[in-house]
């Protein structure tokens, strides 16, 4: 597993597979690069896939830096890998980081896919979507009281009852037993990022091909939020997975790969 120590001092770890056009996978809060295994295994047949551990998750080290600095670190990593044009697939927090990366250097990005992600996660007077700030702060407090069990409880809550009763979810629970728990202080800092970042202006100004993939029962990026995203990005492609929550690529990996592959092929030119 390769790693890069960037100028910020963070030691970033990632999995690199395949050959061809770079296809980058960014995970969300409280998980790590390995949740993309069914995607990197499949797409590495056609692309050079890169699944990255965000700082404080998986094998990557932690240092308190801004979301902008993380995006600049990604640029440094991609330049060291010799990437000229790439596609980013971002889940939840990973999608927010992808937007920040686009803001600092749009020239490197060919297209982007957001999974259960949005440009602003915290509700405000002019934005009645996403998470209630009180919910975010409650999770913040729970991390200080019941870490790391609260991380597992939160992960479970992101799936529907139907998903949790599936054989696939039982396998995921066994798989997660071998996953390193993210650093507590990193998770707390990321919650602050989710509460304060607002990148709606970035999404609205984007001119590259975009895809939004959502579970119909996602309680974080819910149906009303998706309808709002349509108004910000009306020319984007929107795909839905029935009876799925926040991680359709985990519950229905093969179907997810088909939907992502269709978008990639349609935007090859």
Domain of residue 22 covers 3-266
Residue with tokens 């009645």: 128
User: Is residue 9 pLDDT above 90, yes or no?
Assistant: yes
pLDDT band (50, 70, 90) for residue 86: very high
Q: Edge to edge, what strands does the sheet with 3-5 contain? A: 3-5, 11-17, 48-52, 22-26, 86-91, 109-115, 210-215, 237-241
pLDDT digits (tens, 9 = 90+) for 173-217: 877 776 778 999 999 999 999 999 999 999 999 999 999 999 999
Total domains, the chain: 1
Q: What is the pLDDT of residue 173?
A: 81
What CATH number corresponds to the domain at position 179? 3.40.50.1820
Question: 118-150, pLDDT tens digit by residue?
Answer: 999 999 999 999 999 999 999 999 998 999 899
Report the alpha-carbon distance of residue 260 to residue 39 in Å, rounded. 9
pLDDT confidence of residue 220? 96
- Per-residue model confidence as pLDDT tens digits over 234-260: 999 999 999 999 999 999 999 999 999
């Amino acid at each position: 597993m390769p790693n890069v120590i960037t100028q910020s001092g963070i030691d970033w770890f990632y999995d690199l597979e395949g050959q061809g056009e770079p296809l980058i996978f960014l995970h969300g809060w409280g998980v790590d690069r390995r949740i993309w295994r069914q995607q990197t295994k499949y797409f590495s047949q056609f692309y050079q896939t890169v699944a990255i551990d965000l700082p404080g998750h998986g094998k990557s080290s932690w240092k308190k830096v801004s979301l902008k600095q993380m995006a600049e670190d990604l640029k440094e990593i991609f330049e060291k890998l010799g990437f000229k044009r790439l596609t980013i697939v971002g889940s939840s927090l990973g999608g927010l980081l992808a937007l920040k990366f686009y803001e600092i250097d749009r020239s490197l990005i060919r297209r982007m896919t957001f999974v259960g992600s949005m440009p602003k996660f915290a509700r405000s007077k002019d934005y009645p979507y996403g998470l209630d700030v009180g919910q975010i702060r409650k999770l913040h407090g729970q991390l200080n009281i019941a870490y790391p069990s609260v991380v597992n409880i939160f992960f479970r809550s992101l799936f529907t009852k139907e998903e949790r009763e599936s054989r696939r979810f039982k396998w995921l629970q066994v798989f997660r037993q071998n996953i390193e728990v993210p650093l507590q202080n990193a998770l707390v800092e990321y919650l602050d990022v989710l509460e304060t970042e607002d990148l709606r202006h970035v999404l609205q100004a984007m001119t590259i091909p975009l895809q939004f993939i959502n579970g119909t029962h996602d309680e974080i990026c819910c149906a009303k939020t998706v309808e709002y995203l349509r108004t910000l990005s009306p020319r984007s492609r929107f795909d839905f997975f029935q009876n799925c929550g926040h991680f359709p690529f985990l519950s229905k990996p093969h179907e997810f790969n088909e939907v992502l592959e269709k978008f990639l092929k349609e935007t090859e030119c």
